[in-house]
Structure 1
Amino acid sequence: MKFFFRTLTSGLTGVAVILGIMMFGSAAQATITPSSGPAAGGTSVTVEGIHFVQVAGGSSHTLALTNLGTVYAWGGNNDGELGNGTFTNSSTPVAVMDAQGLLPLTGVSQIAVGDDFSIVLLETGEVYAWGENDYGQLGDGSTTGRALPTRVKDSDGTGWLSGVSFLALGSTHSSAILENGTVMAWGDNLYGQLGIGTFVDQLLPVTVKDSSGTTALAGVSAIALGQEHTLALLESGQLMAWGENFSGQLGDGTTVSRSLPFAVSDASGSGVLSQVAFIGARGDHSLVILNTGESYAWGKNNSGQLGDGTTTNRSRPVRVMDSSGNAPLGSTSKIIAGYRSSYAQLSTGELVAWGRNSLGELGDGTTNDSLLPVFVLNAAGDSALTGISLVTSGSSHVVAVLTSGTTVAWGDNSSYELGIGLSTHYATLPQTSANFQPQSVSFGSNVAGNLTISSTTWAVVSPVSTAGHVDILATASVFGGATPASPALVTWKAGLFTYEPVLATTGSPAPVPLGIAATLALLVGLALLVGWRRVKRS
């Protein structure tokens, strides 16, 4: 897959317009349906529009990955965590740039966010990081902060980290699952959160060890990082934990920090937690969903972030309760940890939240903490938010992408991390956040008509053209908030369209389109006719 971008300045004073042309391979052309039609035009064509496929929240910034492999960022930028070469906060999305700061970064397959730094995995297997680097969390062998992506090195610093399948970040430490099921970690290690048996920070990736400290931890399928602790889900469904444990966030029944992985206890303390399907961590607490759909939590609980109706810290898993506190929370499909709050997406689609709410992070229209789950409400505050496709929590803010393609956010906005284009300090209900507004679709140099939008699908009617192949170019504005003042523009190649030739017929009111098969059949027929006439004459 090849990409190229160029940056232009519009004729409008002070308005930056980013124009990107993306060259796709054949796989991307499947997003154009159909991919051919008559030169006379009039074909109804659907085009996949640009939209977010991943979102990730940090302490005061947000990252979002598009289906085109580009990344947008907004919010706080004191440490260069937006990756656009500046240290200026942004209330609207800005494109993350490449290592040279000349072109938008492309070909990204996964994003991850720490407190004040960001890391991405490229389709090529390369890993890049930017932002704060006081503890070596960027993995480039230094403690120098970066406002542009820098490539993560390998363990000896002479090559590059490779073979990565998944990334996860804590407040100031980083981890990566490799394709072979082992884990690499780097950055802050004050409490042993790197899992290597020591308490020394690492500026380059090192291999996480097993509980014996002699071999690599293996068979890891997922990882989640809290402020200074790490969880690792094994393929067996067992959960391992290590790092800081002052609040019981390791779930082993103690408050003793560990520099090597240790099995998380079950709720009774008589065995190990098993049948774990989904994990989450942030701050000083941990969350899981079991194969049964039940949710459990442990660790710090000073704001009710464990959802058990108390503010008592727990060193072993406890069941998350429902809003009445009389029964366990119903079946959940995803669970997410904020710094002192927690979120669960129910199997029915709604999102519930519990814990700290002083900045509106629970999204229920209030600033009242809740020791039990409450429904996140819609923008009007009159019913539960529905149609949630993606959701992420930063330290004190939440961003959700709806199935309609709209992005909404709520909670802390002191550094513009909601991406709503406003300086409002916080929002207690979901607000329209970073979004794309379709502008036009062109077939070569000809603009298509009748542009209509349905979620992330754009529908147009092909214009008249000459026979042959043309690029379909789509353009959208990217902005934060519901009413953008000066949105940027992004243009990309959405696919290739083939205009088929037409056969003019005498007396016919309009040309008759011929496909390739029909044309070949006509030529064969003419050849047979000529041959038959020659045979007849002879």
Structure 2
Amino acid sequence: MTVSAALALSLCASPASAATIGGVIGWGKQDYAITVPPSNVLSGVSAVSAGSTTVLALQSGVVFAWGANNWSANVVPADAKSGVSQISSGWGHELALKNGKVIAWGNNWYGQTTLPASVSSGVIAISTSNMHSLALKQGGQVVSWGTRTDVPAAAQSGVTAISAGGDHNLVLKNGGVLAWGSNAYGQTTVPAGLSSGVTAISAGFNHSLALKDGRVYAWGQNNNQQTTVPDAALSDVAGIDAGFNHNLAFKTNGDIIAWGANFVGESTLDGVCGPVLAVSAGDNDSFGLKEDPGALC
């Protein structure tokens, strides 16, 4: 549930920059053929975002969606079929960013797609989770809607990256991590040492990730070892994404790292290999953006 700080983001997914174009690969949950990307997203994709039951991909400004189609989450509105720059997939609800304006569709049980007037212009980043969403405005102001609408004073300016978790949020300001919301598992108790130098953040359901000097830091719920960072993620990491109860990262050489829950193979890399350009962790599924998705491991 993230986006890179370099892009001033941090979504329910780890979108790639415009310079990274590849095809989507998937593994883990097989329900609704969610981990079998459709043929039209096997090349030319610049971002992928995994939600609970729907996956989004961005190709030349056009949003593609596949998965369960609960609440018509796979029915991409006409507005999101051109000129889109960012995507974020949630719990049956979806977000896209186009010319500074947030577009939303799908599940609206908790107001996730009832957009505040303030996100109709000037938005530079989006992030959504189960029941709430975040937007980042020019000047660094965070806007929140859905089940969680509170934004602390410290996140009203100067923020450069955002990430919406289950019932908590992470933002990046002056290279330091700020967190608020539920702290039932310590997911908003930011570890010492993350007040500067952090380059990416990602909020999972009840846990949090940060990237500093190529090393992954994790805190919060650890019932599936999702905050037990493997040795491979302690150096040379280029990108991160926290899913529901598992995590993905990729190294500077494109190697994939996965850890945490592994109920249906979401953290199993047998037959899955890089080099990848981005990763996105969903509920019990995982995705990568690979330059040649058909290359054998």
Scaled to the shorter chain, the TM-score interval is: 0.7 to 0.9
Amino acid at match of 2:146: G
Matches within 5 A, 1:459-538: 477-479=295-297
Aligned mates of 1:404, 1:107 — CA distance in 2? 21
Name the CA shift for 1:98/1:153 in 2 (closer, same or farther; >3 Å): farther
Q: Deviations over 1:77-118 (max 9, x none)?
A: 212211x3xxxxxxxxxxx2326xxxx732112111111210
The match for 2:131 among 220, 223, 228 is 228
Structure number with greater Rg is: 1
Q: Which residue does the alignment assign to 2:240?
A: 391
Aligned mates of 2:90, 2:15 — CA distance in 1? 15
Amino acid at match of 1:435: C
Q: Which residue does the alignment assign to 2:47?
A: 110
Q: Does 1:419 align with 2:284?
A: no
Cα displacement (A) at 1:176 = 0.6
Q: Which residue does the alignment assign to 2:227?
A: 362
Cα displacement (A) at 1:405 = 2.8
The match for 1:136 among 72, 95, 98 is 72
Cα displacement (A) at 1:69 = 2.0
Amino acid at match of 1:345: L
Q: Which residue does the alignment assign to 2:168?
A: 285
Cα displacement (A) at 1:287 = 0.6
- Is the CA contact (8 Å cut-off) linking 1:191 and 1:243 kept in structure 2? yes
Q: Which residue does the alignment assign to 2:281?
A: none
- Is the CA contact (8 Å cut-off) linking 2:12 and 2:164 kept in structure 1? no
Aligned mates of 2:134, 2:274 — CA distance in 1? 35
Amino acid at match of 1:478: L
Percentage of matched positions with identical amino acids: 34
Name the CA shift for 1:67/1:237 in 2 (closer, same or farther; >3 Å): closer
Q: Which residue does the alignment assign to 1:294?
A: 176
Q: Which residue does the alignment assign to 1:175?
A: 95
Cα displacement (A) at 1:349 = 2.4
Cα displacement (A) at 1:223 = 0.6
Unaligned runs of 5+ in 2: 1-10, 276-289
Q: Which residue does the alignment assign to 2:287?
A: none
Cα displacement (A) at 1:126 = 2.3
Aligned mates of 1:419, 1:350 — CA distance in 2? 21
Amino acid at match of 2:240: V
Name the CA shift for 1:107/1:404 in 2 (closer, same or farther; >3 Å): closer
Matches within 5 A, 1:90-105: 96-98=37-39, 105=42
Aligned mates of 1:296, 1:153 — CA distance in 2? 34
Cα displacement (A) at 1:209 = 4.2
Amino acid at match of 1:210: A
Q: Which residue does the alignment assign to 1:6?
A: none
Q: Which residue does the alignment assign to 2:198?
A: 332
Q: Which residue does the alignment assign to 1:29?
A: none
Q: Does 1:404 align with 2:286?
A: no
Name the CA shift for 1:358/1:64 in 2 (closer, same or farther; >3 Å): farther
SS in 2 for 1:193: coil
Name the CA shift for 1:358/1:63 in 2 (closer, same or farther; >3 Å): farther
Larger relative contact order (CA 8 Å, sep ≥ 6):
2
Name the CA shift for 1:106/1:349 in 2 (closer, same or farther; >3 Å): closer
Q: Which residue does the alignment assign to 2:153?
A: 266
Aligned mates of 1:233, 1:126 — CA distance in 2? 21
Amino acid at match of 2:34: E
Amino acid at match of 1:322: A
The match for 1:121 among 41, 48, 58 is 58
Name the CA shift for 1:97/1:190 in 2 (closer, same or farther; >3 Å): closer
Amino acid at match of 2:112: Q
Q: Deviations over 1:376-420 (max 9, x none)?
A: 3405xxxx7100012111111111111233211111111111132
SS in 2 for 1:478: coil
- Is the CA contact (8 Å cut-off) linking 2:12 and 2:128 kept in structure 1? no
Q: Which residue does the alignment assign to 2:218?
A: 353
- Give the alignment's Cα RMSD to 1 decimal: 3.0
Q: Which residue does the alignment assign to 1:194?
A: 113
- Is the CA contact (8 Å cut-off) linking 1:64 and 1:71 kept in structure 2? no
SS in 1 for 2:145: strand
Cα displacement (A) at 1:477 = 4.5
Amino acid at match of 2:77: K
Unaligned runs of 5+ in 1: 1-55, 85-95, 141-151, 196-207, 252-263, 308-319, 364-375, 422-432, 438-455, 457-473, 480-538
SS in 1 for 2:209: strand
Q: Which residue does the alignment assign to 2:78?
A: 154
Name the CA shift for 1:284/1:219 in 2 (closer, same or farther; >3 Å): same
SS in 1 for 2:153: coil
Q: Which residue does the alignment assign to 1:24?
A: none
Q: Does 1:69 align with 2:22?
A: yes
TM-score (norm 1): 0.46
- Is the CA contact (8 Å cut-off) linking 2:15 and 2:47 kept in structure 1? no
Aligned mates of 1:475, 1:188 — CA distance in 2? 31
Q: Deviations over 1:135-193 (max 9, x none)?
A: 1211x2xxxxxxxxxxx2316xxxx7222111111122101110x21111001111111
- Is the CA contact (8 Å cut-off) linking 1:63 and 1:71 kept in structure 2? no
Q: Which residue does the alignment assign to 2:7?
A: none
Q: Which residue does the alignment assign to 2:117?
A: 210
Aligned mates of 2:156, 2:31 — CA distance in 1? 40
The match for 1:303 among 176, 185, 189 is 185
- Is the CA contact (8 Å cut-off) linking 2:12 and 2:127 kept in structure 1? no
Amino acid at match of 1:302: A
May I ask how many residue pairs the two structures share in their alignment? 271
Aligned mates of 1:476, 1:169 — CA distance in 2? 25
Amino acid at match of 1:410: W
